[in-house]
Structure 1
């Protein structure tokens, strides 16, 4: 452990890590805003004592004057995140006109060199009068006991651990008192907690390397969409979401003063980049790439037909970006002059091979003669690195010792080190990695439950900024009759229902949730009771579950045999079997199952090298039958309750807004499809019981709500009345009274990392 003094606090199921800026519940992170986190630390440090409002305001906002309502809002958010303690009361008590008191018993672990000092703060009784509690004979007051333990070194063997255990026993016994029974139990847990340190923070070489960094949060809104650090390491350019608009801001990270460079607009800036001399900022826009003086001025377009990330050459004279990567298209690497005079194609790939266009930008290699580019193959599910010659366009693979499922961003720090934000195949989060060459060995820079997206390096690479993202989703049930909604799942860093949820005919809800690094299928009652896990230890992803109309079966997608395939199991999770014939072709995927109204067929998306079509298969297996009759890429089938129509998502390249919902008739194979442009988040739809309307998430305003869209009259009606949080997925009960919705938020902020 670090020689630097550090503290860890435990209360109830929670562990608070001020240095790591994390709150964990049963080992899983609890998402909090930075100021809410600092408020919690201030309260926990004063556990059992009155925390005066003025003290808290000065500690949490040391250099600013803020209204008391900011503190009140933080306490409200903390109570909501923490829930109630073992006594059934909130963890935080309001003392009228005075401040707040943290009521729970707190264990404090303090690292001092090779010792861990453990203190037990026994819970104080609550006081409605605002006076400090009076000590009583039964010990219901603030007290503190302390014990020091020697921590074994990072390479400690089992004997050292046993000695530590014995040391705990020896130290504990002399400190027992009639009041100290609680303390004995807490100290006896120290061995377990230290073992938790070893697992969570890593008394091992890789994790210790991952901790040899300093992190500092530079933004606190949770609404950042891109950032860049100036070459001198002093200024931060970042894009801020404001409702549906974005603005470009410039912030001095030393003084924390900031100005707006590009005001908010609906087609606002994205992906800021500094010029190497620090005089200009480049940013992406719906109309292309623009250049603007660092302190504002008139933007100048330097490239068009670009919707992806881009990078600036070391001499500031060129930008590089990918163009085109959709199935059936070619994709190219483009280099454009920053004076706007010209652009040229450096290299092109033909379908199914492509240059990744939605995330990482091509970056200049240290020799200045090549671009490092992320590539893929439609349907393969992994990403690779290649080096492309700027002169000839010839590719050479850059080999690493790991397989990458996602590469989000990259940048060279030197000729021997490539930094990446990436997700290793088989793991759950996008982390920061350092890849060393010529061997291609990858080592973690971060190791936590967040995702890390694009980043910005400076020349000496001793510090950089990165976009940190966390997502938290829970299930909510909306009652159409009463107009009310209630949350039925809870937890930390959850993504309940993100990859599918469905009502069963008996009223239970089937949904996906995270189980460690895997996604599995669970069921739960409408009131949130009797949660059961239906799949476990069978592949990384068991998702998109739907229930048969007779309440007997669940159809779902699983990768337990390799690529995503269609599976069927009983309602209780037993007797799982693959519906479609086994195949070694990992480029083809089977997705989005949906039962026919009679329960005899399952409609699904067959994705072949990234291009989707709709098929169906009998629940008794057999041969699949093609359903869709279009050359366009389609996915997400939903059959109307009367069995006459099939709705699905489509990429309609003939339309101005190509992402659409289509409806085809199942009765007349020669009938024409109808296309709709109503707002539909990810084009997910469900039918109303009368087969007249499609329900979808309209996210065109802040948050999002469910709307019905009549496919005959085009009439639209709002269903839910959510005012906060974003819906990701939903389904409708058979009687159409209840709607289950996966709701929550993704938080993105800029973190400065020094190493």
Structure 2
């Protein structure tokens, strides 16, 4: 019956019945009905929208067997294959793995090269890669882009001097990439080229201080996003969006207290997969996360003790391929009684130690978390110094007068400045006021502190009491790797870069005039920063052969270089001679790695 249906039917029926009795309220009732319909529709939409827009809430991580020491990896669009680069005793080779059958095919045999970029073409028919030749002449450090059919063949050179992965348009007809310091030293360019490398065109340029570390072309073709260093307020990195047609730029994400590196779109264009590090680990470990688009909010996918590098996403958005690393870095000390330092013994274990330096009292200074530790040459903990709740201390160095200098990151502002303290960490005094000043080192007389201003970038010096900083030299718009001060305090050795010759160099600079006295070619196998030998007659730096680092000496008189240490394993990440020049402290270790798949597990 009509009344019964009205009483026991839906709320909408009841409202219609009431409207028949009260015609004056019909407009209000209609409005309420429409609101109810809208609310129901929104509820249904939200149920599907939010479920769909929150991928990788639950994940499954699978290590790919047979990919130990894989340095770079990329997933094919269909998710069936992985291309990867294996490093074997310093030589690198390109491989293809079929995931279902677990079979591996070598595409390019081992060569004395170093790969950088690695991507599949959107149709999955070709692999794009870049590498540089490590030859017995001046190292160019210029990576050239090639492509090769997935089943192998002859690599085809497409683009010379490419500094990021190629990022393809959705139709696969073009790709974007970054080129740094060419043709303009101190600047980078975002370029677009055809899939065969032809018709290069620069669409955007910016300063090297904010260089794009990786880029990704959006699925709808309307934006190329990139991760940049961009310190402001509570952020260190940002994601920028560049219009591929006009070059117009805008920032779309500034996750607080976070450094962003690799980036790749999810196929629906609603999120970006990123590699990031955060203040929680003092930026020492990289993790995988998602940045929602366009609101720019970061959500971690992984949160473990591993370290992740580079990533790619399958076309269905269900799988992320990345490299998982587990760093091992320990302190070793040699008495120097043996000429090849073969008596170096391990004095730390378990903690990943970034750097080591000597204090005046013959103890060692290391980093641990956000503080500086002092240990004896036998590894005994002497104390924790320069530890503050609102900051992170790092890169310590001892001065001849007993002072300690170090870089200190303030957690609220994220500025990194050079600080001085007494040997026990008391008497803190800030020496610089910039945004990103790092790697301090005292002059032999303890009166001057040298450091790098990473925002210029430039080598700088300032009084141990503070004051106005000065540039050590104006001859270089860019540095390459580190510096050291001679024991006589008259010269400094700088890792520099010769833009005309396109190669890294070593420069001796007068501290009085700031003029370059001499310039040397680096051994192309070099790793890490140069230092003066204890007797001041040569320059020392690590050289890597077959995946093992040893210290080599390059005499200042032009004589042939020679090997100082004779280690049979591990890499060198930091080293320094004691104040008397007899003992040698090093940080040695390795970063074993494997390819892993991070799969979305929505059913969990």
Q: Structure 2 vs 1, CA of residues 525 and 209 (structure 1 numbering), >3 Å: closer, same or farther?
A: farther
State the shift of 1:490 in Å.
Answer: 0.7
For 2:35, the equivalent position in structure 1 comes to: none
For 1:387, the equivalent position in structure 2 comes to: 241
TM-score normalized by the length of structure 2: 0.80
For 1:218, the equivalent position in structure 2 comes to: 64
Identify, as 1 or 2, the structure richer in strand: 2
Deviations 1:577-632 (A, max 9, x none): 1134xx3x53xx3333222222232233344x332133231x33344444435344
Contact 1:273/1:312 (<8 A) preserved: no
- 1:307 aligns with one of 147, 160, 163: 163
State the shift of 1:324 in Å.
Answer: 1.8
Distance 1:539 1:219 in 2: 43
Contact 2:236/2:414 (<8 A) preserved: no
- Which residues of 2 match residues 225-304 of structure 1 at below 5 A? 225-267=71-113, 269-286=115-132, 288-304=144-160
- 1:621 aligns with one of 441, 454, 466: 466
For 1:369, the equivalent position in structure 2 comes to: 222
Distance 1:649 1:397 in 2: 33
Contact 1:558/1:564 (<8 A) preserved: yes
For 2:426, the equivalent position in structure 1 comes to: 574
Contact 1:597/1:642 (<8 A) preserved: yes
For 1:334, the equivalent position in structure 2 comes to: 191
For 1:604, the equivalent position in structure 2 comes to: 451
- 2:490 aligns with one of 632, 644, 653: 644
For 1:664, the equivalent position in structure 2 comes to: 509
State the shift of 1:421 in Å.
Answer: 1.8
Distance 1:753 1:671 in 2: 52
Deviations 1:331-375 (A, max 9, x none): 222221123442322x2123367441xx42x22213223222234
Distance 1:278 1:265 in 2: 25
State the shift of 1:522 in Å.
Answer: 0.8
- 1:532 aligns with one of 383, 395, 409: 383
- Which residues of 2 match residues 195-210 of structure 1 at below 5 A? none
Distance 2:292 2:154 in 1: 42
Distance 2:198 2:466 in 1: 60
Is the counterpart of residue 545 in structure 1 residue 396 in structure 2? yes
Is the counterpart of residue 502 in structure 1 residue 502 in structure 2? no
State the shift of 1:229 in Å.
Answer: 1.9
State the shift of 1:301 in Å.
Answer: 2.5
Deviations 1:689-711 (A, max 9, x none): 33222222222553111223221
Query: Where does the alignment leave 5 or more consecutive residues of structure 2 unmatched?
Result: 1-53, 133-142
Contact 1:247/1:268 (<8 A) preserved: no
Distance 1:318 1:409 in 2: 18
Contact 2:226/2:263 (<8 A) preserved: no
Structure number with the bigger relative contact order (C-alpha 8 A, sep ≥ 6) is 2
- 1:595 aligns with one of 432, 442, 448: 442
Distance 1:638 1:654 in 2: 24
Distance 2:57 2:69 in 1: 26
Q: Structure 2 vs 1, CA of residues 600 and 279 (structure 1 numbering), >3 Å: closer, same or farther?
A: closer
Is the counterpart of residue 676 in structure 1 residue 520 in structure 2? yes
Distance 1:260 1:243 in 2: 17
Q: Structure 2 vs 1, CA of residues 653 and 537 (structure 1 numbering), >3 Å: closer, same or farther?
A: same
Distance 1:249 1:349 in 2: 34
SS at match of 1:339: coil
- Which residues of 2 match residues 11-22 of structure 1 at below 5 A? none
Contact 1:352/1:378 (<8 A) preserved: no
For 1:558, the equivalent position in structure 2 comes to: 408
Distance 2:107 2:251 in 1: 40
Distance 2:426 2:514 in 1: 41
Distance 1:393 1:258 in 2: 41
Q: Structure 2 vs 1, CA of residues 394 and 593 (structure 1 numbering), >3 Å: closer, same or farther?
A: closer
Is the counterpart of residue 463 in structure 1 residue 319 in structure 2? yes
Distance 2:588 2:217 in 1: 40
Q: Structure 2 vs 1, CA of residues 328 and 646 (structure 1 numbering), >3 Å: closer, same or farther?
A: same
Q: Structure 2 vs 1, CA of residues 217 and 526 (structure 1 numbering), >3 Å: closer, same or farther?
A: same
Contact 2:416/2:437 (<8 A) preserved: yes
For 2:138, the equivalent position in structure 1 comes to: none
SS at match of 2:590: strand
SS at match of 2:87: strand
Distance 2:222 2:502 in 1: 39
SS at match of 1:382: strand
Which moved further from structure 2: 234-243 or 333-342? 333-342
Q: Structure 2 vs 1, CA of residues 296 and 629 (structure 1 numbering), >3 Å: closer, same or farther?
A: closer
Pairwise CA RMSD of aligned residues? Answer: 2.9
SS at match of 1:675: strand
